[in-house]
A and B are shown apart, each in its own frame.
Chain A
Amino acid sequence: AQSVTQLGSHVSVSEGALVLLRCNYSSSVPPYLFWYVQYPNQGLQLLLKYTSAATLVKGINGFEAEFKKSETSFHLTKPSAHMSDAAEYFCAVKGNAGNMLTFGGGTRLMVKP
């Protein structure tokens, strides 16, 4: 069984500030972990993925995430928020034995000018 918990359904930051979106996972097998972004009225797009290679993963638009096994976490960060980063962000986990992706509840990122 696998699950994902995203702490904070809403996160608000000022433009230029650090973005930190939290994700903790539970998986009975070594996980594959993903972050997806959903802009208003659009489908989800893959931001980045962890597949047991480097623990620090870089994605598109300046985002990165670090896999920490000891903390069962895969938090998403960006050093400096931009207005265009305002969106819904979803963390997802997949056990390596199966193909089903399990999504967290999402975190809405708001960026203030």
Chain B
Amino acid sequence: DTAVSQTPKYLVTQMGNDKSIKCEQNLGHDTMYWYKQDSKKFLKIMFSYNNKELIINETVPNRFSPKSPDKAHLNLHINSLELGDSAVYFCASSQALNTGELFFGEGSRLTVL
């Protein structure tokens, strides 16, 4: 059983489209995250949720909207996609808010044409 699972694994889409990535964790963790990894492998946190509440919202355009329907799920919706949004998006979870021990999904590679 995959602990943190993301779907889809690959998305290829045109500029201006809207897309969503779903994430689910079966570890019983309280905190979930979205990270963006660019083409140079640099990892940057985008959002953090704890018990379905938004904790961290880094400088991310408001075209990106996370949604956490429950503790086990954190979805990411992106409106009006731009070329610069092409990246690998990782979902992660941790047992609690203040631990650095993150469990990552396998990533969703988004390519915007």
* Interface residue ranges, A against B (CB under 8 Å): 32, 34, 36, 38, 41-46, 49, 88, 90, 92, 94, 96, 98-101, 103, 105-106, 108
Contact = CB atoms under 8 A, between A and B. Distances in A.
Interface of chain A, helix or strand or loop or mixed?
strand
B101 A43 contact: no
- Which of A43, A94, A108 has the most CB atoms of chain B within a 10 A radius of its CB? A43
B55 to A, nearest CB: 7
Contacts, number: 57
Nearest to A106: B41
9 contacts: A42-B107, A43-B104, A43-B107, A44-B90, A46-B101, A88-B41, A99-B55, A99-B99, A106-B42
A92 B100 contact: yes
B55 A43 contact: no
A103 B48 CA distance: 15
Nearest to B33: A101
A105 B48 contact: no
B88 to A, nearest CB: 9
Contact of A44 (B55, B97, B99, B104): B104
B2 to A, nearest CB: 10
A90 B43 contact: yes
In the A-B complex, the 6 residue pairs with the closest CB atoms: A43-B104, A94-B100, A103-B43, A106-B41, A44-B104, A99-B97
